[in-house]
Structure 1
Amino acid sequence: MTKQITLPEDVNALLQTLNDGGYEAYIVGGCVRDSILGRIPQDWDITTSALPEQTKALFSHTFDTGIQHGTITVVLNKTNYEITTYRIDGDYADGRHPDEVSFTSNLEEDLLRRDFTMNAIAYHPAEGFRDPFGGQEDISRSLIRGVGEPAKRFQEDALRMLRCVRFAAQLGFQVDDATYTALQENAALIEKISVERIHEELDKLWKSPFPEKLSLLLSSGLLPHIDGLLDKRLTALGETLVPQLKAAPVSAPLRWTLVLQSFMEAEAKTFCKKLKFDNATAKQIQTYLRHLSQPIPQTPYEVRKLAGILGMELTENLFILQEILQDKAAVATAREILAKVLADGDCLNLKMLEMDGKALMDAGIPAGKAVGETLGLLLEDVLHEPEHNKREYLLEKALKLQQK
């Protein structure tokens, strides 16, 4: 087990300033866990015996981020660091946030309110680890275990249940039996959590390196309380989804499309709206689902048409999904055709067409609907016969179309 954590210079300076002011201070939570695991922490959180106003008095640049819960942010060298006073949480009426907090001078009381033992470890470079709940041992055993009474931790903040599964998928850890049983018994409480936070956790889960932990989610009892249709469809997919997720790039639209592969496009639209996806991701998922229900293009015309509609990035992504879910040989053929189409510089869309609306109107075609319809017919011609993408030919064909 790691005996020492190398802290960034600024983090050491923050701890030293708090210590020089007469207060205890430690790094805590995910940054300690990740450092023990040899991962690079995303954030460096600090816990201290100093009250928020006392912390603010020690630093020149601070702002309040959650001062009602004891958290202020210190800005040092253009980087934000959250510093939170040791606290004891009151009741959690909403199943997410404490109704009130009381500050304490006891570090162990602060660590007791945290979710899992691996996240309830504090560290100071001069003192080493403060680990009253055996978090280091659990990390060495690759085990996720609730702090104290797991059921109480989940009742305080129901999002912790989904975080438990997500941590397992991110770290490849097992979940302690008593903790998982408490999770299953309290699964209905997830209904108290906002869809935004549920979406965020599921997003991280699908993008995690150990998707085989999907079984934890399927057996947890959480899904029926998140979305009934998602529960039914994921249960039907079962373990077949695991190698598919592993084969896909770590991309939210691609991974979510695999998760929603058995959804109709309209069902996916409703689901994405319910979980408040951003519009761009939701549209991509729906686009992929629409094209997954259609044959893989196998002719130059079909490939040009598809690439023209989707653009290159979405076409390549669609091929990835089709390769995972459908026919690798057919996708290989489509990719070969696309490479030749691109190498030949074939026209794929109206922007590449050697004709535009102004030229058509100058030639006497009425502005408005007629111009748009004519451009569409010309593009269709060129998608079939790329050599027709010449201005003279297209103008002549446009005028013939008008005579019909």
Structure 2
Amino acid sequence: MDECLHIDTGAAPSITVEQPALNGTPAPATALEVLRALEGAGLEAWIVGGWVRDALRGAPCHDVDICCSGTWQQSEAALKAEGFKVVRSGIKFGGITAVRGEERIEVTSYRFDGFYTDGRHPESVRLAQRVEDDLARRDFTVNAMAWHPTRGLLDVYDGAEDLRRRMIRAVGEPRRRFEEDALRMLRAVRFACRLDFVVEPQTASALASCAPLLDAVARERVGWELDGILATGHAGDALLRYPDIMCAAIPELGPCRGFDQRSRYHAFDVYDHIARVLTVAGELSLSSVDGAGPEAAPSPSLMWAALLHDIAKPACFTLDDRGCGHFYGHPERGAEQAREIMHRLACPSEVMRDACLLIRYHDRPMSAERSDLLRVMGLFAGSGLDTPRLMNELFDIKRADTLGKAPSCFYYVKDIERMREMVRELLANNEAYSVGTLALSGADLIAAGVAPGPRIGALLRRALDATVDGLVPNKRDDLLAYLDV
């Protein structure tokens, strides 16, 4: 690892090292060309942010950001002189984008941020002369480091040590950072989940006390950060460790905290149960057996469904005459409430549709019987729906839901996995579970002499019921013979 040292010598040094690297990670050639162009014009420039953080972690690095001592106009002139295309992507905040081929490098001027009147963006920015001033305005220490292939690593706030300690810590006074930009609170949680770090105690305390500030942030931005948290597969940790900020992001989670389910089937309150279901769902979605593999992101529909599957339980709670709790209708009401929440957070319509389907049917009783499984598959069939994927996710959420209950319920996992395997066999055997998967079509019926009209649909539904019930194979001639048309 390079020395954490920066000596300002006035003139910018030339870059002569062949393929310089940070912690064994080579600097991208295009980023080095941008540095050469800027410093060839007498400016000072550094690689900053996520690339530096990930290189120090030995993790794959992607986008490269550079900060520079010049104005955006000076940076633009220097880059154009070396043949770069320049996009004025954020000149209000001193930012441009250098483009060469398919590669894009963000270049931003050193700056001081003015007052944050909207809790999200500075009202104004001022040009700074020193890179240290620019690093001081950043959110977390692990993102407040700069690196240069000649000058080495500049780490004013011990970000490298926080990486070693696996800790997310605010730069400077945490409350001030969050008052400047309330979305940083969710970013802290997202980074902690993504990197499998913890939030430093003082920063975590500020998360709790500043959580109400999140109300000022646009809901679509909150939704984007929540989606990022869910995509890590560790959102269950986020709920358990940082409940105040998670409930500020989704206020409907608040009534779930501490809500005693009064049920022998549940060892946890509603909120803690949701957290545990999220944890198991994340593990299942990333597993090589049930999901896409550890390198892929978890299914968004599964993770949103896990987060919101019991959101309506407090509103549906009743006690019987023995003092036992029940939540009749909570899946259906939960699907409606989830749709409202996800629409508010600007979730993609397909993710919202699929998640609400999973929520609606997550508690439906199922048996390892061919006809019952085919009927459930029919619930997840229709235009645009990926039935095999959704059935797999239904079993994932059922398994996660089971493992989030009392240990006496764990036996049901074997039944779930047996049903999962049966569904795979039904799909492989081309069994019909919807009119669209029948080996018989409306055109076949018309060719057999049936007049076009409502009777076509009625006959297809009758054929589907018959093959689902095992009365006739899903074969065209057999179905026509059964219908006797």
**TM-score, reference length from structure 1:** 0.91
Q: 1:377 matched to which residue of 2? A: 462
Q: 1:349 matched to which residue of 2? A: 434
Quick one: distance in 2 between partners of 1:13 and 1:234?
53
1:237 has 2:271 as partner? yes
Quick one: distance in 2 between partners of 1:171 and 1:302?
42
After superposition, what is the alpha-carbon deviation per residue over 1:225-257, rounded to whole angstroms, capped at 9, x for unaligned?
Answer: 333212333663325346424433122111111
Alpha carbon RMSD of aligned pairs, Å? 2.2
SS of 2:365's partner is coil
CA drift at 1:123: 0.7
1:33 has 2:33 as partner? no
Quick one: distance in 2 between partners of 1:234 and 1:378?
48
Kept in 1: contact 2:52–2:147 (CA 8 A): yes
Q: Is the alpha carbon distance of 1:216 and 1:332 closer, same or farther for their aligned partners in structure 2, counting shifts above 3 Å?
A: closer
1:256 has 2:304 as partner? yes
Quick one: distance in 2 between partners of 1:359 and 1:181?
68
Question: Which stretch of structure 1 is more off in the superposition, 327-336 or 390-399?
Answer: 390-399
Structure 2 counterparts to residues 79-158 of structure 1, below 5 A: 79-158=103-182
Question: Which stretch of structure 1 is more off in the superposition, 350-359 or 24-33?
Answer: 350-359
Quick one: distance in 1 between partners of 2:374 and 2:256?
34
Counterpart of 2:78 (choices 42, 54, 58) is 58
Q: 2:251 matched to which residue of 1? A: 228
Q: Is the alpha carbon distance of 1:216 and 1:333 closer, same or farther for their aligned partners in structure 2, counting shifts above 3 Å?
A: closer
Structure 2 counterparts to residues 267-306 of structure 1, below 5 A: 267-306=337-376
Question: Which stretch of structure 1 is more off in the superposition, 87-96 or 306-315?
Answer: 306-315
Question: Which stretch of structure 1 is more off in the superposition, 206-215 or 134-143?
Answer: 206-215
Kept in 2: contact 1:244–1:258 (CA 8 A): no
Q: Is the alpha carbon distance of 1:397 and 1:69 closer, same or farther for their aligned partners in structure 2, counting shifts above 3 Å?
A: same
After superposition, what is the alpha-carbon deviation per residue over 1:82-120, rounded to whole angstroms, capped at 9, x for unaligned?
Answer: 000001111111110111111122111111111111111
Q: 1:178 matched to which residue of 2? A: 202
Quick one: distance in 2 between partners of 1:126 and 1:215?
44
1:195 has 2:214 as partner? no
**TM-score, reference length from structure 2:** 0.77
Q: 1:216 matched to which residue of 2? A: 241
Q: Which runs of 5+ in 1 are unaligned?
A: none
Whichever residue aligns with residue 414 of structure 2, its letter is A
1:334 has 2:415 as partner? no
Quick one: distance in 2 between partners of 1:342 and 1:116?
49
Kept in 2: contact 1:52–1:72 (CA 8 A): yes
Kept in 1: contact 2:204–2:242 (CA 8 A): no
Quick one: distance in 2 between partners of 1:232 and 1:248?
27
Q: Is the alpha carbon distance of 1:130 and 1:292 closer, same or farther for their aligned partners in structure 2, counting shifts above 3 Å?
A: same
Quick one: distance in 1 between partners of 2:238 and 2:54?
20
SS of 1:248's partner is helix
Q: 1:315 matched to which residue of 2? A: 391
Whichever residue aligns with residue 237 of structure 2, its letter is E
Question: Which stretch of structure 1 is more off in the superposition, 25-34 or 319-328?
Answer: 319-328
Quick one: distance in 2 between partners of 1:150 and 1:32?
22
Which aligned runs of 4 or more in structure 1 are off by greater than 4 angstroms? 1-4
CA drift at 1:16: 1.4
Kept in 2: contact 1:214–1:242 (CA 8 A): no
Whichever residue aligns with residue 389 of structure 2, its letter is E
Quick one: distance in 2 between partners of 1:348 and 1:305?
6
Q: Is the alpha carbon distance of 1:30 and 1:282 closer, same or farther for their aligned partners in structure 2, counting shifts above 3 Å?
A: same
CA drift at 1:57: 1.1
1:247 has 2:295 as partner? no
- How many residue pairs get aligned? The number is 398
SS of 1:84's partner is strand
Q: Is the alpha carbon distance of 1:343 and 1:222 closer, same or farther for their aligned partners in structure 2, counting shifts above 3 Å?
A: closer
CA drift at 1:316: 1.7
Kept in 1: contact 2:47–2:65 (CA 8 A): yes
Quick one: distance in 1 between partners of 2:170 and 2:201?
10
CA drift at 1:79: 0.8
Q: Is the alpha carbon distance of 1:273 and 1:19 closer, same or farther for their aligned partners in structure 2, counting shifts above 3 Å?
A: same
CA drift at 1:391: 3.7
SS of 1:83's partner is strand
Kept in 2: contact 1:346–1:386 (CA 8 A): no
CA drift at 1:320: 2.0
Quick one: distance in 2 between partners of 1:390 and 1:203?
43
